[in-house]
Structure 1
């Protein structure tokens, strides 16, 4: 393909392919939350059973994230992402073929094991192919696939569920994923040496040619612990949007599944567009001469002003019909911009702070902790949403402000010393 022979064009084809793969990733993930009432009825389970299935996914997701990072650092993004896409597609098909709750929970666990591979691989692909002045934008465009997936999911899944049984919708989504895996193998290649020399020389952490932290050395860095804490306290807000918002609109705000399909995509579209724009803004600050790490921190701090909107969510249901839904959608649209700006950019913070040979491992470790935070939070959502709603939303409203303090106090460029380093 002539398009792939040009490195400048190839790198953007890589972004497009990752973008499409992540759309598929989130579509498969959102099948459960959007079809929640249907699946609960099919398997005769209550909210505790639903929370159990979500936590099976999150626990497997958390366990596999660090392992995915190690695999990407060892074998590269091409092979690991290919196998990951195949595995989550098979898990989606398996979920559609399940005949009881236990089988379904098993395949959601397999989905959780497979999905982290694309996120660990994505940031390495972006880091080695893109210079710092484009890196946050390229990364956000890749990751925006998740938000577009959540935009498309309510519309497509609600429509498909009126034509096919819910089982067939799962199988169809898995088949599409298999096709995407084949495309990825055709598109991705390692960058030429002249591009790699430029992208790696821009970071202070990569200027010591060939050096990287050992596994033990990584755990002695302040930035690793800082990002661990950031993701642990901030990721649960986004997991709530993904796993509970569609059901919340149906069960607490009185919408039907079709009505959720009409409006449930709006926060995720705003989040995707807003996340890309805020990432591009941080790149613009870098092009104007600001230190890359400081530019990312400044942007993340400013968007965190939206966090307290979470606190008001349970009170919106007291508004007249349709006004309550409009208020919830508007509030969560701003919250989604904040969450996705953080999720897109925290991986770029890692890429700026660590040697490239450690980036996937650090992304995997920290995202795994974020999933653990999401699992713990999800447990309490399942138990307390109906009885202690206001208190739950109050907690969500302060989590990103706590993360801002950690961001400024605990993240910096990390350069391996001799005792902490391994040579290429």
Structure 2
């Protein structure tokens, strides 16, 4: 692996008497990610009853379930451009309120077409979310703490998927599928208001003293970057696009993210069907087993962030500290191929848990965006990164559907293993030395 030599130990220890306001920011990001993924999971919970009420066939169900991904991926670049120009204190609450309103109306409307339109609207307004998360983390955390912060708030997506899905199912049972959308949307509306009231940049925050701001700045946090609205650059330019599209290092993290998120989308789409249709499990048992890999991923993402930052503190180069958990995690993800060589359900689930633990371990990839993106184009780079990564939400279900037959799922695991191997090569040979791209 390139760039693995040690450098001198970190020279920016925490200043005595500095505040810890950045930890509250990490918690705010975590809550926002949980809400974000809760609003992605609510449709999969309600889909069976929606299909029954509206008489949807499987093709219509697939269209409804895919509606979010099409607009979410397509709007990553405009969303990233917007992140570079609008302050997180204003943009994040606006996005939260708008996607939450769309979610609430999904529980009120009475037609299939309206559900499609509203689900696409949720994808539109959630598109800037992760670029905003990355921008906030880059401003609030020094380099040696950033991967831990990113790992912490990213873990919210696995909690949202593994733990809140049963809660939403219970709500639907007690009330109706309509209330699943109304209540989850209401949570987002309230949190949007909370974010607007509480969030400030480091230099504007009354909770962060000068010692903490200096600590963040000296550790590589971008506390002094002025928004584009104050620099006079209001329009996207081809020069900006070429900067984020023509650099080999950036393509390394774009391609790596596509390969990493392919595993996530396999578990979000095909894994439950694999257990039911190819392993002959009932829905109750498969529902429980589906949650186990997500819990393993939750552990993995928390370990990945802490491990990476500890390597930075021990004097490892930034490239080694960031890429070691990512590449190790991708190697672990390749263990899912073991499912092709056993008929033991316990072993199959064990392979899946190891694979998704690895996916979680590798999910600190946004730390590379923080470390490598041009400072002025943090949002645009993050948008491109998330756009290419989330193309897997379209490619993975379609490609696997073409590869497998009614009796043979083995080609799917071969495909996932090959894609993961490509991701490893991309981090090793394309990314190379981790350093900020200059303009």
Scaled to the shorter chain, the TM-score interval is 0.7 to 0.9
Q: Which residue does the alignment assign to 2:154?
A: 143
Structure 2 unaligned spans of 5+: 1-16, 205-209, 229-238
1:284 to 296, 310, 318: 310
| In structure 1, C-alpha distance between the alignment counterparts of 2:267 and 2:89, rounded to whole Å | 30
Match status 1:237 vs 2:237 = no
Q: CA deviation at 1:20?
A: 1.2
SS at match of 1:92: helix
Match status 1:352 vs 2:371 = yes
**CA separation of 1:260/1:20 partners in 2, compared to 1, >3 Å: closer, same or farther?**
farther
In the alignment, is the contact (CA less than 8 A) between 1:27 and 1:173 conserved in 2? Answer: yes
The within-5 A match list for 1:15-414 is: 15-192=26-203, 194=210, 195=212, 198-200=215-217, 202-203=219-220, 214-250=240-276, 252-253=278-279, 258-260=284-286, 262-313=288-339, 318-319=343-344, 324=345, 326-343=346-363, 345-382=364-401, 385-387=404-406, 389-411=409-431, 412-413=433-434
- CA offset digits 1:129-179 (Å, max 9, x no partner): 111121100111111111110122232122222212112111111111111
Structure 1 or 2: more helix by fraction: 1
| In structure 1, C-alpha distance between the alignment counterparts of 2:213 and 2:189, rounded to whole Å | 30
| In structure 2, C-alpha distance between the alignment counterparts of 1:401 and 1:219, rounded to whole Å | 23
- CA offset digits 1:259-302 (Å, max 9, x no partner): 45544322212211221112211111100101112211112111
In the alignment, is the contact (CA less than 8 A) between 1:154 and 1:264 conserved in 2? Answer: no
- CA offset digits 1:326-359 (Å, max 9, x no partner): 444433322222222333x111011111233322
Q: CA deviation at 1:406?
A: 0.6
Q: CA deviation at 1:48?
A: 3.1
In the alignment, is the contact (CA less than 8 A) between 2:87 and 2:227 conserved in 1? Answer: no
Q: How many residues align?
A: 405
SS at match of 2:174: coil
Bigger mean CA deviation after superposition, 159-168 or 249-258: 249-258
In the alignment, is the contact (CA less than 8 A) between 2:137 and 2:146 conserved in 1? Answer: yes
Structure 1 unaligned spans of 5+: 1-5
| In structure 1, C-alpha distance between the alignment counterparts of 2:379 and 2:309, rounded to whole Å | 21
- CA offset digits 1:25-84 (Å, max 9, x no partner): 111111223344333333333443333233321111111122222111111222221111
In the alignment, is the contact (CA less than 8 A) between 1:72 and 1:360 conserved in 2? Answer: yes
Q: TM-score when scaled to structure 1?
A: 0.86
Q: CA deviation at 1:219?
A: 2.1
The CA RMSD measured in Å over matched residues stands at 2.9
**CA separation of 1:305/1:242 partners in 2, compared to 1, >3 Å: closer, same or farther?**
same
- CA offset digits 1:68-114 (Å, max 9, x no partner): 22111111222221111112212221222233332222121111112
